[in-house]
């Protein structure tokens, strides 16, 4: 019995898988965000302008949009054990090249490549869903997401100190190398200790890697529509780097990027058609159908939750610094309260989802998130600082619990495609961050918070289209027999 109970202090069976998964995710986030806390030193050593630094921050998240989709597909095909280990080992290379870069170009290429490590999150979503039953899944995914996410806060706290311990003007380089070494070593530990499924379970693979399967004609068109924002966000980044804005790339390069994105989108069309054209002639048996609108709703909600979290974490120190005239150190500490909530709120959102149903939990948390950002928009210098911090923490609870509730639902839609679905929903979080940060570059903090609240209200509207996952989903074994997987109370 002990092996099957949910005991957070156990390091056996499914709990061992959960602990190793969040540790892997924690390391990917520590590496992905190892740059922000050491910004000043990097800027001075390499002699970079503020524009170049901002560009590095954008490059850091840009690659993650396509990376999450690609890594999601690879996970479904090759299994989480191999893909996570390979990601940790391979991404230590750009981490080392960034640590020893001598100029802006080397730094930019390294940071762009490091965007890939931000996709690690998707792999664990599939792995955890293989090991936990539906009634514990939300809590398990929440712990995985929340504790792993804490890697960015841990990096912010420990790396500046590490850099000082190493000392000298190259201290920051050695601090970054430490995160790269962690990633490299843990890749091997992970590979040695993980199996894709519990003993005797089948790891279901999608029939196709190149595009997501859909099971109705309407879903075919909805999938193509839902692909657009991912390309639009990358086009938005190109525009942000063009002469109209920061002027890092020439107009010619900008137009080449637009053309490439458009060509890629057309290629996606062809792949989606290739994989799904049969549904226009032969209907999919009901047993094997799933509703793509479920995925679309979760995409919109993750855009508002994780998208706003990534954006707010980037701007909150500056917001507190300017509003309350704090020192940078104090502003950083105060703003980190927002990220700290992850340890509790994301598992909390998953747990609530397990207890009270997926849809009702999402409704309550999304409404709370909208109200939370309306509250944040009211903060001004006449407020007492601690009241403003409490407001930020209340808001962040709803944001992160909402993320937990979204990923409590993702693995219940279609098991063999969990990586692909998690990849798309996860990418929408990054799309949200790009959109919100672009909005922020044109408007005041108040309007920025109002915009996020408005998208959350939009999320509430789309939620009315979602149906609570219940009953079973069917997956076909290699010998043609069908396995039914429980996804919720009937």
The pLDDT tens digits for 424-480 are: 999 999 999 889 988 888 889 999 999 999 999 999 999 988 888 887 887 877 777
C-alpha separations of 181 from 174, 184, 400 in Å:
10, 5, 29
Average pLDDT of the residues of the chain: 89
**Mean pLDDT throughout 384-411?**
93
User: Does the predicted TM-score (pTM) go above 0.75?
Assistant: yes
pLDDT at 1 (0 to 100): 31
What is the rounded CA–CA span in Å between residue 451 and residue 456? Answer: 9
138, pLDDT greater than 80: yes
pLDDT at 190 (0 to 100): 97
Lowest-confidence range among 28-37, 119-128, 421-430, 481-490? 481-490
183, pLDDT greater than 60: yes
Q: Which residues of 6-26 are buried (b: 16+ CB within 10 A; e: fewer)?
A: eeeeeeebbbebbbbbbbbbb
Residue 211 — pLDDT band, cuts 50, 70, 90?
confident
Question: Are the beta carbons of 338 and 311 closer than 8 angstroms?
Answer: no
pLDDT at 2 (0 to 100): 40
C-alpha separations of 52 from 3, 62, 177, 223 in Å:
52, 15, 22, 36
Q: Are strands 482-488 and 471-476 parallel, antiparallel or unpaired?
A: antiparallel
Task: Please give the residue that has the higher pLDDT: either 181 or 468.
Answer: 181
pLDDT at 489 (0 to 100): 63
pLDDT at 421 (0 to 100): 93
101 φ, ψ (degrees, to nearest 5): -70, 150
pLDDT at 490 (0 to 100): 45
- 65, 34, 77, 2: which is closest to 235 by C-alpha? 65
Beta strand ranges found along 272-358 (DSSP E): none
pLDDT at 3 (0 to 100): 52
Question: Are the beta carbons of 182 and 246 closer than 8 angstroms?
Answer: no
The pLDDT tens digits for 96-113 are: 999 999 998 899 889 989
- 393, 400, 364, 365: which is closest to 379 by C-alpha? 393
pLDDT at 247 (0 to 100): 76
pLDDT at 249 (0 to 100): 80
Lowest-confidence range among 14-23, 198-207, 290-299, 475-484? 475-484
Give one DSSP letter per residue of 237-257, joined into a string. HHHHHSTTTT-SS-HHHHHHH
The pLDDT tens digits for 302-360 are: 999 999 998 888 788 888 888 998 876 777 777 777 777 888 999 999 999 999 999 99
Q: Please list, in sequence order, all residues whose beta carbon lies within 8 angstroms of the beta carbon of residue 383, skipping any fewer than 6 positions away.
A: none
Which of 153-157, 286-290, 410-414 has the highest mean predicted lDDT (pLDDT)?
410-414
pLDDT at 130 (0 to 100): 93
Residue 295 — pLDDT band, cuts 50, 70, 90?
very high
Alpha helices by DSSP H, 79-166: 80-90, 92-99, 104-114, 120-131, 134-166
Work out the burial of residue 430: count CB atoms within 10 Å of its CB; fewer than 13 is exposed, 13-18 middle, 19 or more buried. Answer: buried
pLDDT at 207 (0 to 100): 79
- How many residues are present in the chain? 490
Name the CA dihedral angle for 194, 33, 400, 319, rounded to a multiple of 10 degrees.
Answer: 170
What is the rounded CA–CA span in Å between residue 368 and residue 405? Answer: 13
The pLDDT tens digits for 13-66 are: 899 999 999 999 999 999 998 887 788 888 889 998 877 887 787 778 778 899
**Mean pLDDT throughout 179-207?**
93
Task: Please give the residue that has the higher pLDDT: either 417 or 247.
Answer: 417
């Amino acid at each position: 019995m002990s092996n099957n109970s949910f005991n957070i202090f156990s390091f056996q069976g499914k709990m061992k898988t959960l602990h190793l998964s969040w540790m892997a995710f924690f390391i990917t986030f520590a590496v992905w965000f190892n740059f922000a806390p050491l910004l000043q030193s990097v800027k001075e050593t390499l002699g970079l302008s503020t524009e170049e630094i901002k560009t590095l921050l954008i490059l850091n998240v840009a690659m993650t949009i396509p990376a999450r989709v690609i890594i999601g597909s690879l996970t479904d095909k090759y299994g989480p054990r191999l893909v996570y280990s390979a990601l940790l080992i391979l991404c230590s290379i750009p981490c080392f090249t960034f640590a020893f870069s001598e100029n802006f170009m080397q730094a930019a290429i390294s940071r762009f490549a490091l965007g890939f490590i931000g996709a690690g999150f998707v792999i664990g979503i599939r792995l955890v869903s293989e090991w936990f039953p539906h009634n514990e899944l939300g809590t398990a995914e929440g712990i995985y997401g929340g504790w792993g996410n804490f890697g960015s806060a841990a990096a912010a706290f420990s790396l500046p100190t590490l850099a000082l311990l190493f000392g000298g003007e190259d201290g920051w380089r050695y601090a970054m190398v430490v995160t790269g070494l962690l990633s490299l070593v843990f890749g091997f530990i992970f590979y040695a200790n993980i199996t894709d499924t519990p003993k005797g379970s089948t790891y279901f693979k999608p029939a196709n890697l190149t595009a997501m399967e859909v099971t109705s004609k309407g879903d075919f068109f909805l999938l193509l529509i839902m692909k657009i924002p991912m390309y639009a966000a990358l086009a938005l980044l190109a525009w942000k780097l063009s002469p109209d804005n920061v002027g890092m790339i020439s107009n010619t390069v900008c137009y080449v990027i637009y053309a490439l994105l458009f060509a890629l989108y057309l290629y996606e069309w062809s792949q989606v058609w290739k994989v799904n054209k049969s549904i226009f002639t032969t209907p999919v048996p009901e047993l094997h159908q799933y509703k793509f609108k479920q995925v679309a709703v979760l995409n919109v909600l993750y855009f508002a939750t994780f998208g706003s979290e990534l954006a707010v974490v980037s701007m909150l120190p500056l917001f507190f610094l300017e509003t309350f005239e704090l020192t940078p150190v104090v502003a950083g500490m105060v703003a980190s309260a927002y990220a700290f909530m992850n340890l509790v709120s994301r598992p909390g959102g998953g747990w609530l989802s397990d207890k009270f149903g997926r849809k009702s939990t999402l409704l309550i948390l999304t409404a709370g998130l909208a109200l939370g950002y309306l509250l944040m928009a009211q903060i001004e210098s006449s407020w007492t600082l601690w009241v403003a911090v409490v407001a930020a923490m209340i808001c962040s609870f709803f944001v992160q619990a909402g993320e937990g509730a979204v990923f409590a639902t993702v693995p219940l839609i279609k098991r063999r495609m969990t990586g692909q679905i998690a990849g798309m929903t996860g990418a929408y979080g990054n799309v949200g961050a790009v959109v919100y940060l672009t909005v922020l570059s044109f408007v005041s903090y108040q309007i920025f918070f109002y915009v996020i609240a408005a998208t959350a209200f939009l999320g509430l509207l789309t939620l009315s289209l979602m149906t609570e996952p219940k009953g079973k989903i069917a997956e076909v074994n290699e010998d043609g027999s069908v396995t039914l997987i429980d996804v919720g109370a009937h």
